[in-house]
């Protein structure tokens, strides 16, 4: 359970590689430790049911701390849990020692420093991450360097702060540890303490002169949500990086209300953004942290503050379907018809470009979109219903003439389409530049359930746009067999031509839609 050693080919060293016995890999140890932790968790749940007081979670403790004594009645009352904890600690120590032995053996062969100071630095990292206060104190008393890091740049203070070990953090700071020492990805002890919600450590850092506006970079997911990556020292994966993050940004993103309140009380700037323009309120709205949003708005955060791509906290709440936050913003005076711009990739979040917007780069940004449009394109039916209930304009268009119904149809959201149609949305309202409507879009993309919904609500299947194109033509050229079959059953004309004199069959032949051609030929022949 240490920072893993690496072989010369970049992989984890195993015992067999070095001739030291059976293979020992990170995955093997991870599974063994996982099973032990699961057993301890089960025993703790039993203890919780039988005891009026219990801890909120399991924290790794040292061997000395878990040995029962005459004064520790609770420990004596749960010997099975204590034994499991003891086994876990021993396994961790065993892995740590084995990895250190492997490291020394390999490093000697490559002329790498294996001095006592280097070993002490590794031990300090190990002791810091699991909160061994006495070991940390001893290593520091020997003069062990407090700024040595893992390969990824994790310092002892970073690891201790991330795990919430306050006393260890105090020791490290007293010995010169730097709260803003950055990892390779630009993350710091200060930012991880804020992001993990360790208020006592946040306060400690501030008491020791921490600048609350100090910013860094975060690929937060790995560090905040994948603790085992740190415990086993696995190489950090490349997560979406966000630069210019402050402590308030990290705490807001992670929903750490107590830290948010504390930072605001210390004067943290509520409107300061990351390099991409994301404010604390935007990130809290994105993640659905209602209480944090309340706190930020109460301190002056702007609901319509736009990021670099045009997204705002209001639009983000609508897009992500956080109805409680949408309602909160409305209660605080949000104009539901406010329109903005947002990037294509953020808006649609689809793996494939759809038929409507594949052709032209000008659709990569959508000007004039409202909260209803953003909720519709992402299928947030509860938000759509709420906005409609308070008067959102159902047929309002963006700069390119796209309505909420066209967005919902494009993304295949049947329930949203149903809600919009029930509130008067026009199925044949065409875009300004190419005449494509929700009806034609549903046929082109093969959304049979939406096609049926429109027909059930009185849609004329022979309606054509300004180029003479019908739903059958769009379905045929795109090879939407199910839609073609349905329209033919409903009596769609195979003889009808577009402005260029082409029939649905002509278009299907040109695109090589063999099955569609067969269906159209059979229908034309009366079969």
pTM: 0.73
Q: Are 40 and 58 contacting, i.e. CB atoms less than 8 angstroms apart?
A: yes
Q: Are 157 and 128 contacting, i.e. CB atoms less than 8 angstroms apart?
A: yes
Which tokens belong to 422? Answer: 């029930």
Residue 384: per-residue pLDDT: 99
Residue 104: per-residue pLDDT: 53
Distances (CA, A) of 316 to 37, 306, 398: 38, 10, 17
27-36 contacts at long range (C-beta below 8 A, 24 or more positions apart)? 29/1, 29/91, 29/95, 29/232, 30/228, 30/232, 32/91, 33/1, 33/88, 33/91, 33/92, 36/84, 36/87, 36/88, 36/91
Residue in this structure with the two tokens 């932790």, named with its chain if needed: 37
User: Tens place of pLDDT for every residue, the chain, 527 residues?
Assistant: 333 333 333 333 333 333 333 333 445 545 555 565 666 666 655 654 544 333 333 222 233 332 334 444 444 445 665 666 666 666 666 656 655 555 555 544 444 344 556 677 889 999 999 999 999 999 999 999 999 998 889 999 999 999 999 999 999 999 999 999 999 888 999 999 999 999 999 999 999 999 999 998 765 433 334 333 333 333 333 334 578 899 999 999 999 999 999 999 999 999 999 999 999 999 999 999 999 999 999 999 999 999 888 889 999 999 999 999 999 999 999 999 999 876 543 333 333 333 333 323 333 455 789 999 999 999 999 999 999 999 999 999 998 889 999 999 999 999 999 999 999 999 999 876 778 899 999 999 999 999 999 999 999 999 999 899 999 999 999 999 999 999 999 999 999 999 999 999 999 999 999 999 999 999 988 76
Look at residue 22 and give its three-state secondary structure.
Answer: coil
Residue 63: per-residue pLDDT: 30
Which tokens belong to 236? Answer: 């950090």
Residue 239: per-residue pLDDT: 35
Residue 45: per-residue pLDDT: 59
Which tokens belong to 154? Answer: 């994790």
Cα–Cα distance for residue pair 504/483, rounded to 1 Å? 13
Residue 435: per-residue pLDDT: 83
CA 450 from chain center: how many Å? 30
Residue 47: per-residue pLDDT: 53
Residue 526: per-residue pLDDT: 77
């Amino acid at each position: 359970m240490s920072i893993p050693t690496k072989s010369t080919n970049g992989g984890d060293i195993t015992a067999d590689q070095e001739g030291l016995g059976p293979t020992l890999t990170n995955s093997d140890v991870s599974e063994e430790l996982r099973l032990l932790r699961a057993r301890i968790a089960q025993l703790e749940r039993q203890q919780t049911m039988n005891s009026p007081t219990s801890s909120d979670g399991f924290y790794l403790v040292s061997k000395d701390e878990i040995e029962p004594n005459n004064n520790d009645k609770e420990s004596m009352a749960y010997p099975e849990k204590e034994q499991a904890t003891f086994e876990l600690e021993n396994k961790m120590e065993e892995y740590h020692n084995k990895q250190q032995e492997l490291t020394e053996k390999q490093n000697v062969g490559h002329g790498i420093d294996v001095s006592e100071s280097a070993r002490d630095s590794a031990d300090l990292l190990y002791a810091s991450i699991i909160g061994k206060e006495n070991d940390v104190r001893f290593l520091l008393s020997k003069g062990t360097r407090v700024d040595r890091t893992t390969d990824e740049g994790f310092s002892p203070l970073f690891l201790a702060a991330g795990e919430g070990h306050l006393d260890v953090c105090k020791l490290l700071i007293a010995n010169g540890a730097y709260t803003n020492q950055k990892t390779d990805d630009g993350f710091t002890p200060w930012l991880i303490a804020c992001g993990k919600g360790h208020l006592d450590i946040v306060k400690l850092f501030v008491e020791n002169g921490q600048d609350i506006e100090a910013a860094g970079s975060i690929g937060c997911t790995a560090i905040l949500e994948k603790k085992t990556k740190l415990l086993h020292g696995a190489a950090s994966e490349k997560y979406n990086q966000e630069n210019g993050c402050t402590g308030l940004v990290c705490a807001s993103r992670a929903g750490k209300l107590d830290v948010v309140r504390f930072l605001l009380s210390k004067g943290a700037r509520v409107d300061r953004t990351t390099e991409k323009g994301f404010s604390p309120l935007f990130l809290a709205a994105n993640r659905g942290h209602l209480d944090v949003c309340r706190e930020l708005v109460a301190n002056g955060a702007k609901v319509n503050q736009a990021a670099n791509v045009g997204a705002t906290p209001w639009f983000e709440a609508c897009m992500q379907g956080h109805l409680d936050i949408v309602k909160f913003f409305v209660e605080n005076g949000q104009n539901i018809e406010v329109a903005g711009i947002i990037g294509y990739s953020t808006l649609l979040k689809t793996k494939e470009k759809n038929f409507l917007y594949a052709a032209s780069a000008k659709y990569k940004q959508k000007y004039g979109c409202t909260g209803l449009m953003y909720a519709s394109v992402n299928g947030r039916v509860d938000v759509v219903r709420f906005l409609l209930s308070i008067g959102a304009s159902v047929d309002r268009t963006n700069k390119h003439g796209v309505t909420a119904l066209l967005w919902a149809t494009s993304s295949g959201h049947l329930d949203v389409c149903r809600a919009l149609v029930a509130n008067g949305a026009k199925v044949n309202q065409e875009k300004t530049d190419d005449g494509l409507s929700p009806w034609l879009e549903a046929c082109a993309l093969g959304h049979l359930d939406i096609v049926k919904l429109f027909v059930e609500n009185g849609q004329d299947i022979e309606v054509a746009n300004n180029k003479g194109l019908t739903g059958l033509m769009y379905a045929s050229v795109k090879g939407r067999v199910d839609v073609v079959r349905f329209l033919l059953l409903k009596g769609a004309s195979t003889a009808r031509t577009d402005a260029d004199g082409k029939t649905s069959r002509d278009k299907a032949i040109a695109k090589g839609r063999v099955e569609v051609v067969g269906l159209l030929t059979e229908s034309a022949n009366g079969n």
